[in-house]
A and B are shown apart, each in its own frame.
Chain A
Amino acid sequence: MALAWLQHLLSHRHLSAYADGELASGLRRRVEGHLARCARCRAEVEELQATARTLSLLPQEAPPRSFALGPDQVAAPARRPPLALALRGLQAATVAFSLLLVALVVWDVAGPATSKQAAAPAGSQSAPAAAPREAPEGAGAALAATPTPAPTRPDMGLAGPQATPTPADRRRQTEEAPAAEAGEETGRSLLRVAQVAAGVAAGLAAGAWAVLAIRSRRAS
């Protein structure tokens, strides 16, 4: 009983291909063996054949015109910037400018604090070794320390807090301090300009992307 049911299941899914005469000989014989015993499958084969016959009654319609190609149809299509490429480029530009803006803002917030800290020894003589030791702690700190005029020399750090600065050193430090402040101001205003530029560029790229995307959706 279970074997007969299994044979029914195995044969049933091949009935359509059997009706089309598209089964390999071994499988065809197995299905024919099952059909001889199963009235339900025989009826199903009849129905499937009748369905195929009915569907074949659908008329072949004559094409409304000739599809023969003219020389203008086979000419290479006019080169125009592919829309998909432009959309992808604008998307990438939006992301890139947004990331740049975020990086500049982060620099603005975190950068000066570190550079002030790095610049501190220039004003006070209490810990001249602080800058060289703190600077390498983070990439941001290292970057922030670079544009400020070097407040200490490495040999000063090695000399330790007990080392008394020479009068020449003191003079140089007092001259450098205002120069460092002026440099920092210029750096800050440049940073503001860069932030605004990045923001505007991100906005423009996003706007252009949105306009193109809406137009292409309407066109399709």
Chain B
Amino acid sequence: MDDDALISRARAGDLDAFNLLVERYQGLVFNVCLRMLSDRAAAEDAAQEAFISAYRALGRFRGGSFRAWLLRIAANLCYDEMRRWRRRPLPLEAAADLAAPAAQSPESALMRGELAGHLQRGLASLPADQRLALVLRDVQGLAYEEIAQAMACSLGTVKSRIARGRARLRDYLKAQGLLPSGAALALEEE
């Protein structure tokens, strides 16, 4: 059953229909919150709150991409959480705790875990708008158009946020020795 049909049923008070939507998008929403907040418990709370808010606000959904609408609610909750942190900051080590889940071999788990930690720290160093745009694009693979809907901004703003965020993350990864220079990459391809 597609999103629109489930939304219609959920609007009529069918909680099971809404929970099918929750199941469909909970992985996406949780992972976006996790990459935005660098903290599992906070991401879990934000994701749960996003679904509760979405259910209550379902009457105000005006069509289009439900996924983008849901992500906008989740992103706003993440921004609220980060504003609270500014008043009462969390320890900086939070980002480092986000190691990857178990992979095929212990070595690759270690490698991927370290890389994930670096990437998460690199993301955390970006301004929130650039971080969200980059997470939606490069981690979740959304198209620019849908990112614009999720961020409630123009396509031009999305392009600029992705460009700036990616350039800053590239500088961070190069400084960590995790990314060869463009010339070396070109040679590798040849």
Contact = CB atoms under 8 A, between A and B. Distances in A.
Q: Name B's interface SS.
A: helix
Contacts of B120: 58
Contact of B30 (A42, A45, A54, A63): A63
B52 interface: yes
A67 B139 contact: no
B51 A43 contact: no
A15 interface: yes
Contacts of B134: 55
A73 interface: yes
Contacts of A51: 138, 166, 169-170, 173, 179
A60 B30 CA distance: 9
Nearest to A53: B138
Interface string A55-81: 111111111111111010110000000
A45 B189 CA distance: 13
Q: Chain B CB within 10 Å — which of A54, A57, A67 has the most?
A: A67
Nearest to A22: B144
Interface in A133-188: none
A16 interface: yes
Interface of B: 15, 18-19, 22-23, 26-27, 29-31, 34-35, 40, 44, 47-48, 51-52, 55-56, 84, 87, 100-101, 112, 115-116, 119-120, 123, 134, 137-139, 141, 143-144, 159-160, 162-163, 166-167, 169-170, 173-174, 178-183, 185-186, 189
Given A47-B185, A74-B56, 4 more contacts: A44-B182, A47-B174, A52-B137, A69-B22
